[in-house]
């Protein structure tokens, strides 16, 4: 059963009210969703059946450690992550990540690095085909 998705309006309001908000010149969000096209088809061009849903789980302690680590990166002052779990249908959200940093290049790099860490090392995704 999927979790209740967070409100990005609420997340941004919280971020802008955080103690280090005055150091942030940019906030970026990432919303990963279940797509119909299989990973192997997108990445390697392999013909695949349509994805019907994804079984999704994650390492909670690992995600907490990744968030703590991200807060040590140059210019990063705010990080919040939400991950879904269970069998998720096409169009449902897998994750949300919010990064606040001092300048645009650091914010973009931090978002890419953190999402990459989570996706590559801390989640388990199993595509279930139609």
**Per-residue pLDDT at 114:** 98
**Where residue 99 sits, what CATH number does that domain have?**
3.90.1170.40
Q: Is 75 within the bounds of a domain? A: yes
* Range of the structural domain that residue 41 is part of: 8-129
Tens-place pLDDT, residues 15-49: 999 999 999 999 999 999 999 999 889 899 889 99
Q: Is 3 within the bounds of a domain? A: no
What pairs with residue 51 in β-bridges?
Answer: 129
Angle separating helix axes 104-117 and 60-70, nearest 10 degrees: 160
Written as six digits, the tokens of 69 are 């680590």
Helix/strand number for the chain, H first, E second: 4, 6
Tens-place pLDDT, residues 56-81: 999 999 999 999 999 999 999 999 99
Domain count, the chain: 1
Tens-place pLDDT, residues 5-15: 999 999 999 99
Taking residue 89's Cβ as centre, other Cβ atoms within 10 Å add up to 12
Q: Is 50 within the bounds of a domain? A: yes
Q: Which of 88, 85, 110 is nearest to 24 (CA)?
A: 110
Q: Is 68 within the bounds of a domain? A: yes
**Per-residue pLDDT at 1:** 54
Instruction: Work out the pLDDT band at 82, boundaries 50, 70, 90.
Output: very high
Q: Do residues 106 and 73 lie in contact, with contact meaning Cβ atoms separated by under 8 Å?
A: yes
Length of the chain equals 130
| Share of residues in the chain with pLDDT > 70 (%) | 99
- Residues in Cβ contact with 69 at an 8 Å cutoff, skipping those fewer than 6 apart: none
């Amino acid at each position: 059963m999927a979790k209740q998705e967070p409100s990005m309006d609420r997340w941004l309001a919280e971020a802008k009210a955080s103690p280090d908000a005055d150091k942030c010149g940019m906030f970026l969000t990432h919303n990963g969703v279940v797509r119909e096209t299989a990973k192997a088809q997108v990445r390697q061009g392999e013909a695949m059946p349509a994805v019907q849903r994804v079984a999704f789980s994650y390492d909670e302690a690992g995600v907490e450690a990744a968030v703590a680590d991200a807060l040590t990166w140059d210019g990063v002052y705010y990080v919040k992550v939400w991950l879904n779990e269970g069998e998720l249908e096409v169009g449902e959200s897998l994750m949300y990540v919010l990064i606040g940093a001092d300048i645009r290049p650091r914010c973009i790099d931090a978002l890419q690095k953190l999402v990459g860490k989570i996706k590559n090392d801390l989640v388990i995704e199993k595509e279930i085909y139609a």
